[in-house]
Amino acid sequence: MEIQFQSDIGKRRNMNQDYANVFTNQAGMYLAILADGMGGHLAGDVASKMAVDGLGAAWSTSTIAQPDEAAQWFLAEIQKVNEAIYQEGIAHPEMQGMGTTIVSTALLDEKFVLAHVGDSRAYLIQNNQLKQLTDDHSLVNELLKSGEITEEMAAIHPQKNVLTRSVGIAGVIKTDVSEHQCLQNDYLLLCSDGLTNMVSEENILAIVESDKTLEAKTKQLINAANDAGGADNITVLLIHFEGEARP
């Protein structure tokens, strides 16, 4: 297994509020996390970093190696991170209302467990097909699922960035958790909406399945989003299930 990730400010933002990292626990299992922060000046990047570092610190001391343990761990730890971000906003009024998306995966031998809140996505690339594994927690996705708008309307909807769920709220947060099987040579892509709003799924699939190195593919995905306008921060975390673990 090889893991590469890269984050870019894009072409229209004056700061990068995305954040990603990879951690290992006491059982030698990897956790990959990507977060897309939101909020006022200096707040979104605080929220995304708190989410990633908070989950990473908790994972580093854990001994989790089984999918059911990972699922329970995600529910408990994302709730703790949610509370910490909310309290930080209360303590610093200039950061009040800050929040972040989270998409994260615990990589457990032939299985992986996904957890997500918000509209950062996870895709599995398997058998020359790209499959979205996460469901966007967004207003536009709700309208799409209810049949009120079409996919074409969703792509240009003025409220495209309005989330129905994010990390950093008062009370209990609802986290989607799912377990998946991975095969040799599959790819798992975690990304912020700075990629998916700019680059088609067909183009993403073509880049991931090219003959380039994993690092070159990651860079090419970022470049494709920037070439299309780079309207937002872009973060790409790409995992190739092949051979020995190599983050």
CB distance 16 to 45 below 8 Å = yes
Q: Can you give the pTM of this predicted structure?
A: 0.95
Residue in this structure with the two tokens 């799912």, named with its chain if needed: 178
Fold (topology level) of 2-240:
Phosphatase 2c; domain 1 (3.60.40)
Which regions of the chain are under pLDDT 70? 40-42, 243-247
Dist. CA 82–CA 39, nearest whole Å? 15
pLDDT in tens, 92-149: 999 999 999 999 999 998 899 999 999 999 999 999 999 999 999 999 989 989 999 9
Cα distance between residue 238 and residue 220, in whole Å:
12
| Domain boundaries of the chain, sorted by first residue | 2-240
DSSP 208: H
- Report, in angstroms and rounded to the nearest whole number, the Rg of the chain calculated over CA atoms: 17
Structure tokens at 179: 């377990």
What span, in angstroms and rounded, lies between the C-alpha atoms of 65 and 87? 31
